């Protein structure tokens, strides 16, 4: 069926008559849900049902919960989610192109898709698109109260504060937001003034090298070293007079080769784009021409910083300074990494007192630990008193995190409890081999510990330390265990593993007495003691990262050096975050088996 389409806008309409939703980057889709029947149809009428079997399977399993509402017609977006606010268009596009059922099933298992419903058009087999939007949203919310919360089928809520929603959207580098008039009816196409889409554009810089007289597109390029690299083509966005002037410049001065007119790098421009995928801009449009900019500044390094969408609150300094000499990574690379990984890292920093390591001149130069906020820190970093006119280091949002990175922070260490709590929020085992060459010992110890935790029906997670070991996490429900109780449990588990293989593992605290064995550090799990945060960079020569893993990755061949600031953001987008269900696991975790063991 034909769908209602939002109209592109550069401004967010405001007022009491509007509500706002996250715009997700996926396939617009209408779901027809009847008894024993699910059909997914794209906005162009293409049948998507066989391409997304996990959606069909979920609906079939939960049909009884909505039986009283069937038949249903839901309008929404088919997506593969990176975070709750950012979708991975490349992956959903790849899925849509698959034809082989075996490959489709494999893709559905590796990165399951979600159907995000934002409207309801049919209820009990009766069309309700003429009802006001707010009433339809209330009806949709009622349906999802029966389905329950989940990732496969989710409800897209409306928000009243566009600035707050935009801030969340920006932090997650989401596609944009949709503004909808509350009393609007559902009208096919764009013959309305009720739905508007506002894109979260990346603002990048490049120069123009070629004009195509057949389609009026200009080629956008940058310098990669001394070479010119094409990053996309652009035709729209300029005023008619500016476009005509630019076209005439190429026609008059350009070197003609067939339908193409070429100029050396000279004309610079700012371009709006949704993303850069496989070195090709998505939905590019001119923002402005830049007559005072020099082409020599349009580089790959600048493009990376542009695409990172760094907060305007941060005044970047020395982005070309080398921070990791061995791989040649710069401070700009650090800033880009921290920005890209921030949606996955920040949940582990919020509400905790940080200890950081700063290396303002790179990891091979002087460094220092810091636990208190310096006097010159900006006001957007929350001040939590720590006595004697000092304040704790806190990181409650993207601006704070990027400020720390801009001031040379290369490691983030966090305690096991939140600032306002005396109770641990997780149990962590630190498996510490004597050196990197002994990393297989960490793999072996982690596998043994996983077996023990599985026998106790405990949900566990694993990550590299980013240096030479592995760390095993057991998330805990709030205030479910004291530090005294967790100490008894960690000791029991450590002793059990040590006893199982005393030639490989030890709980001996003195390094000189460990004899080349892996140290099971259970003593480190205590109040106000710290551990490296998930996704934190490390002050290592290779720019390694404390990287969350899937348990099936903990096997022979695994190495800490595999995970660096260069590849971890791409890994998370491709495979998903192994800690994505961490908060859900905290709620579901049953600690009775632990309490029984220690009493």
Residues with a known catalytic role:
23
DSSP 8-state symbol, 6: P
- DSSP helix/strand/coil, 464: strand
Cα distances from 174 to residues 1, 180, 562, in angstroms, run 27, 18, 28
Cα distances from 435 to residues 9, 415, 547, 561, in angstroms, run 56, 25, 18, 13
Phi, psi of 335 (to 5 degrees): -60, -40
Tokens of 495: 């002793």
Task: Tell me the DSSP string of 98-164.
Answer: ---HHHHHHHHHHS--EEEEEEEEEETTEE-TTS-HHHHHHHHHHHHHHH-S-SSEEE---BS-HHH
What SS3 string covers 487-555?
Answer: HHHHHHHHHHHHHHCCCCEECCCCHHHCCCCEEEECCCCCCCCEEECCCCECCCCCCEECCEECHHHCC
Contacts of 353 (CB under 8 A, 6+ apart): 371, 384, 386, 392, 393, 394, 414, 415, 419, 528
Report how far residue 295's alpha carbon sits from residue 267's, in angstroms, rounded to the nearest whole number. 7
Report how far residue 286's alpha carbon sits from residue 173's, in angstroms, rounded to the nearest whole number. 20
Find out whether 159 and 109 touch, Cβ atoms under 8 Å.
Answer: no
Tokens of 412: 């983030």
Residue 22, Cβ neighbours under 10 Å: how many? 24
E-strand ranges in 213-246 read 217-224, 227-234
| Strand partners of residue 21 | 178
- DSSP helix/strand/coil, 13: coil
Cα distances from 40 to residues 48, 125, 136, in angstroms, run 5, 16, 20
Cα distances from 569 to residues 171, 199, 337, 574, in angstroms, run 15, 23, 7, 9
Tokens of 30: 């209408």
Assign residue 190 a region: left if phi > 0, alpha if psi is -120 to 50, beta otherwise?
alpha
Find out whether 169 and 22 touch, Cβ atoms under 8 Å.
Answer: yes
Report how far residue 547's alpha carbon sits from residue 202's, in angstroms, rounded to the nearest whole number. 27
Contacts of 404 (CB under 8 A, 6+ apart): 356, 395, 412
Report how far residue 301's alpha carbon sits from residue 222's, in angstroms, rounded to the nearest whole number. 10
Tokens of 321: 């300074």
Cα distances from 257 to residues 234, 254, 262, in angstroms, run 19, 9, 8
């Amino acid at each position: 069926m034909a769908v209602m389409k939002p109209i592109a806008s550069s401004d967010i309409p405001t007022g009491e008559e509007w509500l706002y939703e996250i715009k997700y980057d996926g396939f617009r889709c209408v779901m027809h849900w009847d008894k024993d029947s699910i059909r997914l149809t794209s906005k162009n009428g293409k049948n998507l049902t066989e391409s997304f079997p996990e959606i069909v399977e979920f609906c079939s399993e939960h049909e009884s919960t909505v039986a009283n509402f069937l038949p249903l017609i839901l309008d929404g977006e088919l997506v593969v989610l990176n975070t709750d606010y950012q979708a991975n268009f490349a992956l959903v596009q790849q899925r849509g192109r698959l034809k082989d059922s075996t490959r489709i099933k494999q893709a559905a298992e590796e990165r399951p898709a979600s159907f995000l419903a934002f409207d309801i058009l049919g209820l009990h087999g009766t069309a309700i698109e003429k009802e006001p939007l707010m009433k339809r949203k209330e009806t949709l919310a009622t349906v999802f109260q029966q389905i329950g919360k989940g990732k496969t089928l989710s409800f897209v809520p409306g928000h009243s504060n566009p600035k707050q929603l935009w801030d969340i959207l920006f932090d997650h580098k989401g596609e944009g937001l949709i503004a909808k008039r509350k009393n609007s009816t559902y009208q096919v196409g764009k013959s309305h003034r009720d739905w508007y889409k506002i894109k979260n554009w990346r603002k990048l810089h490049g120069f123009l090298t070629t004009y195509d007289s057949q389609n009026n597109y200009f080629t956008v390029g940058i310098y990669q070293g001394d070479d010119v690299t094409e990053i996309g083509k652009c035709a729209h966005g300029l005023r008619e007079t500016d476009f005509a002037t630019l076209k005439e410049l190429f026609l008059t001065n350009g070197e003609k080769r067939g339908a193409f007119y070429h100029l050396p790098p000279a004309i610079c421009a700012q371009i709006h784009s949704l993303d850069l995928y496989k070195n090709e801009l998505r939905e590019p449009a001119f923002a402005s021409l830049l007559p005072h900019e020099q082409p020599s500044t349009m580089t790959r390094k600048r493009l990376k910083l542009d695409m990172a969408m760094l907060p305007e609150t941060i005044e970047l300094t020395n982005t070309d300074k080398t921070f990791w000499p061995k791989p040649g990574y710069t401070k700009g690379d650090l800033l880009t990494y921290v920005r890209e990984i921030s949606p996955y890292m920040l949940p582990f920093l919020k509400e905790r007192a940080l200890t950081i390591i700063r290396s303002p001149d790179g990891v091979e130069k002087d460094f220092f630990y810091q636990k208190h906020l310096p006097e010159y820190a900006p006001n957007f970093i929350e001040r939590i008193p720590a006595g004697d006119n000092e304040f704790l280091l806190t990181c409650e949002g993207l601006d704070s995190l990027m400020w720390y990175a801009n001031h040379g922070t290369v490691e983030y260490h966090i305690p096991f409890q939140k600032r306002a709590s005396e109770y641990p929020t997780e149990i962590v085992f630190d498996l510490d081999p004597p050196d990197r060459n002994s990393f297989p010992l960490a793999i072996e110890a982690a596998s043994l510990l996983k077996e023990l935790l599985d026998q106790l029906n405990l949900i566990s997670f694993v990550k590299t330390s980013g240096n030479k070991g592995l760390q095993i996490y057991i998330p805990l429900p709030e205030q479910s265990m004291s530090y005294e109780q967790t100490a008894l449990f960690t000791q029991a588990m450590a002793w059990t593993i040590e006893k199982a293989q005393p030639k490989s593992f030890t709980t001996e605290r003195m390094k000189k007495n460990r004899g080349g064995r892996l140290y099971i550090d259970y003593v480190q799990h205590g109040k106000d003691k710290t551990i490296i945060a998930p996704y934190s960079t490390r002050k290592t020569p290779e720019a390694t990262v404390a990287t969350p893993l899937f348990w099936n990755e903990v096997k022979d061949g695994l190495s800490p050096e595999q995970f660096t600031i260069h590849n971890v953001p791409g890994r998370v987008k491709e495979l998903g975050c192994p800690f994505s269900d961490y908060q859900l696991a905290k709620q579901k975790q049953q600690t009775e088996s632990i309490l029984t063991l220690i009493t």
